């Protein structure tokens, strides 16, 4: 039996108590995703506070406001009322968030896809493969970000009718909202490689277990996001562009941290060379996309669903309009950021758990997979149940945080509760995604994740819209949407039960085929370099062997 050096992180993945492993690998991912969800909330909040005072005096918006309201003579205003400008910004950032989330879906596909393949190689202790995947993932992430940014640009550029934005307005086209949305989106498109690379480094460092560094990265970038956003809006007067530039600088900080950690910290398997960057292997790119496909479908389906909701909600009957803005559209825009936070925490928990499961699947520790999964499942169920209670208790205050008119809160807060009434059932979607993606069953993970985000929700949106139009009561639109998680769980639970009865007798940990030895931080780098040299030497001997035989 050979002796193999295991790092402290690998020992946690293989041998630590399940709760300790979950805490070590999942808390940073939960923090990461919550803070990632907070980026939109921070940008939106800062924009409402610091961009609105400049935008309300902007001649372009003032002229458009006068034209929109058909003001003439003494009716013409020189400033847009602050509350109304904040309403425009609230809706504009909601439209722009669709663009953000669409681009984000592609970045998650590449980042998580690379990280999942890295975790499998990590579990098998294939050092050369880990470096190759890291370098290939870095290059393919940059290339893919440029392609994605161009595709998104084509559907949001006002000169080409901005079909992705204007279609959400229905028959209530508003030039103020469109222009605000475009100025918010420009930095996002220009900095697409930064978005992709920031998530790439976050995912890879999580997979390698550098959780403390990840926490430092996300906390420092959050501070930069706030500071830079305020600076660009208050000092440079860039309005909504300034809000997004704060996020761009936060991405840049994360990338700088990532490069420092990968190349400056001892004992990193992520340290790639020029060969790994320049010589892309098609099979690696395909593997990245295949592994990240469930995440992409999950995020892209959310964009499609949100797009359909935003498009149809403005057309629901018997609702009020203020300066071309639907009250139900304001309702949806005010609650969407909070939905993002709730889902982000669930996604973060599953991402951390998937890294644990993927490693142990590669190491053939099947009972450990079950021990981790059942504990994570309990946490996920508790989280979504708790969030339903929060919406019931504080829904009104959460709506007002994003400029929803106070006078409408008593009526519409119950509509929000109806919309989230089966939220605890959402947990089963994330449990299934954690398991199936962790054990490399990508297609099954794709199917289960797409139920609540695409396959079930879209028909419910259509039915709810039809019933609302037929009855003249828009509340049915929210009632049918609220059934989404219940119906999805009715499909997912039998699948999980089937897999439990099929594999429960095989949930055993296979013994290691090596003898573990300890390693400390001082000797880790020397040991890693020694292993690399041995691999190179073996490769050279394999190459020169035929020529020696011939001679």
pLDDT one-digit tens code per residue, 24-55: 888 877 877 787 777 777 778 888 899 999 99
* 511 domain residue, yes or no: no
User: Comparing 487 with 129, which gets the higher pLDDT?
Assistant: 487
Q: For residue 384, is pLDDT > 60?
A: yes
- For residue 36, give both structure tokens: 């990632």
d(CA 446, CA 432): 10
- Please, which pLDDT band fits residue 536 given cuts at 50, 70 and 90? very low
pLDDT given at position 236:
94
User: Comparing 346 with 523, which gets the higher pLDDT?
Assistant: 346
Domains identified in the chain, total number: 1
pLDDT tens figures, 206-227:
788 787 888 888 889 889 999 9
d(CA 240, CA 94): 13
pLDDT given at position 41:
78
Q: What is the DSSP string of 108-164?
A: HHHHHHHHHHHHHHHHTT-HHHHHHHHHHHHHHHHHHHHHHHHHHHHHH-GGGTTHH
User: Comparing 291 with 523, which gets the higher pLDDT?
Assistant: 291
Give the mean pLDDT of 321-327: 76
Give the mean pLDDT of 342-360: 86
pLDDT given at position 539:
45
DSSP 8-state assignment for residue 455? I
d(CA 456, CA 459): 6
pLDDT given at position 260:
93
Within 10 angstroms of residue 445's Cβ, the number of other Cβ atoms is 25
* 538 domain residue, yes or no: no
pLDDT tens figures, 144-190:
999 999 999 999 999 898 889 888 887 778 889 999 999 999 999 99
Give the mean pLDDT of 381-402: 89
* 72 domain residue, yes or no: yes
Alpha carbon 9 to its chain's center:
25
pLDDT given at position 69:
84
pLDDT given at position 56:
94
pLDDT tens figures, 248-306:
999 999 999 999 999 988 778 888 888 888 888 888 899 898 888 877 877 787 788 88
pLDDT tens figures, 109-136:
999 899 888 888 877 778 888 889 999 9
Among the listed ranges 164-173, 351-360, 379-388, 513-522, which one has the minimum average pLDDT value? 513-522
pLDDT given at position 255:
95
Nearest to 405 by CA among 91, 87, 169: 87
pLDDT tens figures, 421-440:
898 999 999 999 888 888 87
pLDDT tens figures, 449-481:
888 888 899 999 999 999 999 999 999 999 999
| 174 touches 68 (CB < 8 A) | yes
* 541 domain residue, yes or no: no
Nearest to 91 by CA among 444, 329, 323: 329
Its pTM stands at: 0.77
Q: What does the mean pLDDT of the chain come to?
A: 84
Among the listed ranges 5-9, 323-327, 500-504, which one has the minimum average pLDDT value? 5-9
d(CA 82, CA 54): 10
pLDDT given at position 153:
95
Q: For residue 518, is pLDDT > 80?
A: no
**Share above pLDDT 70 across residues of the chain, in percent, rounded to a whole number:** 90
d(CA 385, CA 215): 26
- List residues bridging with 262 in a β-sheet: none
What element of type H or E holds 223?
helix 211-230
pLDDT given at position 531:
46
User: Nearest 5°: CA angle at 434, between 431 and 435?
Assistant: 90
Give the mean pLDDT of 372-399: 91
* 445 domain residue, yes or no: yes
* 44 domain residue, yes or no: yes
pLDDT given at position 326:
83
* 551 domain residue, yes or no: no
488-491 long-range contacts (CB < 8 A, ≥24 apart) are 488/425, 488/426, 488/428, 488/429, 488/451, 488/452, 488/456, 489/422, 489/425, 489/426, 489/428, 489/429, 491/451, 491/456
**Strands 325-326 and 514-517: what pairing?**
unpaired
pLDDT tens figures, 369-378:
889 999 999 9
* 434 domain residue, yes or no: yes
Which range marks the domain in which residue 75 is found? 2-506
pLDDT given at position 323:
67
């Amino acid at each position: 039996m050979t002796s193999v050096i295991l790092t402290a992180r690998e020992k946690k993945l293989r041998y630590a108590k399940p709760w300790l492993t979950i805490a070590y690998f999942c808390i940073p991912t939960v923090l990461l995703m919550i803070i990632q969800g907070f980026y939109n909330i921070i940008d939106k909040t800062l924009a409402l506070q610091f961009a609105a005072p400049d935008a309300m005096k902007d001649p372009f918006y003032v002229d458009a406001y006068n034209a929109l309201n058909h003001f003439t003579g003494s009716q013409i205003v020189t400033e847009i009322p602050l509350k109304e400008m904040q309403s425009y910004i609230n809706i504009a950032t909601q439209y722009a968030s669709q663009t953000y989330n669409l681009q984000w879906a592609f970045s998650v596909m590449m980042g998580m896809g690379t990280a999942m393949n890295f975790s499998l190689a990590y579990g098998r202790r294939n050092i050369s493969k880990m470096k190759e995947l890291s370098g290939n993932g870095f290059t393919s992430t940059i290339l893919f970000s440029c392609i994605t940014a161009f595709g998104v640009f084509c559907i949001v550029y006002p000169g080409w009718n901005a079909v992705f934005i204007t279609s959400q307005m229905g028959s209530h086209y508003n030039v103020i909202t469109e222009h605000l949305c475009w100025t918010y989106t420009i930095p996002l498109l220009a900095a697409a490689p930064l978005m992709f690379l920031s998530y790439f480094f976050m995912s890879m460092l999580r997979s390698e277990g550098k959780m403390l560094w990840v926490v430092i990265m996300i906390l420092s970038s959050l501070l930069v996001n706030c500071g830079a956003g305020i600076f660009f809006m208050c000092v440079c007067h860039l309005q909504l562009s300034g809000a997004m530039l704060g996020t761009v600088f936060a991405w840049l900080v994360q990338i700088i941290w990532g490069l420092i950690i990968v190349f400056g910290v001892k004992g990193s398997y992520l340290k790639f060379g020029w060969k790994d960057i320049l010589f892309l292997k098609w099979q690696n790119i395909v593997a990245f996309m295949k592994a990240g496909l469930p995440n992409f479908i999950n995020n892209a389906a959310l964009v499609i669903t949100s797009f359909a909701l935003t498009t149809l909600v403005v057309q629901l009957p018997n609702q009020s309009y203020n300066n071309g803005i639907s009250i139900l559209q304001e309702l949806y825009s005010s609650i969407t950021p909070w939905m993002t936070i709730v889902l982000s925490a669930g996604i973060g928990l599953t991402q951390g758990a998937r890294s644990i499961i993927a490693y142990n699947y590669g190491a053939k520790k099947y009972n450990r997979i079950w021990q981790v999964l059942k504990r994570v499942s309990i946490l996920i169920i508790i989280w979504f149940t708790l969030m339903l209670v929060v919406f019931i208790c504080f829904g009104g205050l959460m709506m007002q945080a994003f400029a929803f008119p106070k006078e409408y809160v008593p009526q519409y807060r119950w509509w929000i509760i109806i919309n989230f009434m089966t939220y605890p059932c959402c947990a089963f979607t994330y449990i299934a995604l954690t398991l199936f993606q962790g054990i490399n069953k990508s297609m099954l993970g794709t199917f289960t994740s797409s139920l609540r985000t695409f396959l079930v929700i879209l028909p419910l949106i259509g039915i709810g819209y039809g019933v609302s139009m037929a009855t003249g009561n828009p509340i049915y639109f929210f009632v049918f949407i609220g059934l989404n998680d219940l119906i999805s769980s009715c499909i997912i639970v039998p699948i999980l039960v089937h897999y439990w009865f099929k594999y429960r007798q095989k949930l055993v940990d296979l013994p290691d085929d090596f003898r573990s030895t300890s390693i400390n931080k001082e000797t880790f780098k020397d040991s890693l370099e020694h292993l690399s040299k041995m691999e190179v030497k073996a490769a050279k001997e394999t190459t020169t062997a035929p020529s020696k035989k011939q001679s």
